[in-house]
Amino acid sequence: MRPVIVVHGGAGRIFKEREEGCRAGVVRAALQGYGVLKQGGSALDAVEEAVRSMEDDPHFNAGCGSVLNEEGEVEMDAIIMDGKNLASGAVSAVKCIANPIKLARLVMEKTKHMLLTDHGAQLFAQAMGVPEIPGEKLITERSRERWKKNLEPDSNPVEFQKDLGTVGAVAVDSEGNVACATSTGGLSNKLVGRVGDTACIGSGGYADNSSGATSTTGHGESIMKVVLARLILYHMEQGMSPEMAADTALEYMKTRVGGLGGVIVVSSSGEWAASLMDFSRCCVMGFLWGQMSECRH
């Protein structure tokens, strides 16, 4: 089996002054994830490494660079899933953690649970020896300015959501195992404790060796209503290609609940697709057979 990894940096508008940095960050993440696969590593390790890279990149709405909630704090969600045995781990509303995706994997491997949130996730991180960092270190000037603008009486929070960059990765390794990972800071000026689709299995991501893996981005509440990630794999199980399954599921979400989003998908045989519904731009990088392929809308 020839390994494949596909990485996305979120759906939405990319302002021109940020385009180069966003593209470089996605390329870097895909290269690092593919490096794991080239050395015989697992799909699970590859997607974790790719997402960790983007969590460390302030261009994206994940880890350092996450948007702020209504109180001006960073609260982050992440999920990781292994298609071999359907094992999954997730965290939600976590603070003061540089890499939520690493904590999500620890939830999967070191507990009997699938999702830990807020204070409980913080206590678990301490028990696992995960370093805690000051929340200020996760806040960029761009995120702070966005938060301040959204507090103004005449602000338009919806407009300021259009260039958010939830991150994700899907992969299939040389053993034919698939995996997915997704991480986000959520919506700017969200209510304290708001959790979107990212941490919800079947919504923010899903992986199953019998069909494939997918990672989603877009309007979280809409994605949760249709369980978008699992819906895509259901369509693939009915015989659709990854591209057709993604397009069909996104169209259903738009028609049924008026939601917009984007997805990346890889099948268990290595076929991949990236689909975007009515967003102006995104950047997706896929590595197949050692060759880089770019999908930009």
- 63 annotated to bind ligand: no
- 197 annotated to bind ligand: yes
Q: Which of 111, 117, 140, 166 is catalytic?
A: 166
Inter-residue contact 33 to 169 (CB < 8 Å): yes
- 194 annotated to bind ligand: yes
At CA 135, angle to CA 134 and CA 138, rounded to 5?
Answer: 110
Using CA atoms, how far apart are residues 168 and 264, in angstroms rounded to an integer?
8
The region of weakest confidence among 3-17, 19-33, 127-141 is 3-17
pLDDT of 163 over the 70 cut: no
Tell me, yes or no, if 166 is annotated catalytic: yes
How sure is the predictor about 248, in pLDDT bands with cuts at 50, 70 and 90?
Answer: very high
| pLDDT given at position 291 | 45
- 40 annotated to bind ligand: no
CATH class of 4-287: alpha beta
Long-range contacts of 245-250 (CB under 8 A, 24+ apart): 245/273, 246/214, 246/273, 246/274, 246/275, 247/275, 250/275, 250/276, 250/277
Burial label for 162, CB within 10 Å (0-12, 13-18, 19+), is middle
Could you tell me where the DSSP H helices lie in 56-160? 100-110, 118-127, 141-151
Residue written as token pair 């939520």 = 100
| pLDDT given at position 20 | 86
- Token output for 20: 């180069």
pLDDT of 295 over the 80 cut: no
Spatial CA neighbour of 217 closest among 33, 3, 6, 42: 6
- 45 annotated to bind ligand: no
Q: How many CA atoms lie within 13 A of 291 on its CB side?
A: 2
DSSP H/E element including 273: strand 272-276
- Token output for 233: 């794999």
| pLDDT given at position 107 | 98
> Mean pLDDT throughout 140-148?
89
For the chain, give the mean pLDDT.
90
| pLDDT given at position 289 | 39
Question: pLDDT tens digits for 13-66?
Answer: 666 667 788 889 999 999 999 999 999 999 999 999 999 999 999 999 999 999
Question: pLDDT tens digits for 168-187?
Answer: 999 999 999 999 999 999 99
- 195 annotated to bind ligand: yes
Question: pLDDT tens digits for 268-289?
Answer: 999 999 998 765 455 555 554 3
| pLDDT given at position 152 | 82
Strand order from edge to edge, sheet including 205-208: 205-208, 212-218, 261-267, 272-276
Please give the radius of gyration of the chain, using alpha carbons only, rounded to the nearest integer.
Answer: 17
How sure is the predictor about 242, in pLDDT bands with cuts at 50, 70 and 90?
Answer: very high
> Mean pLDDT throughout 53-80?
96
At CA 118, angle to CA 117 and CA 120, rounded to 5?
Answer: 70
Using CA atoms, how far apart are residues 295 and 10, in angstroms rounded to an integer?
13
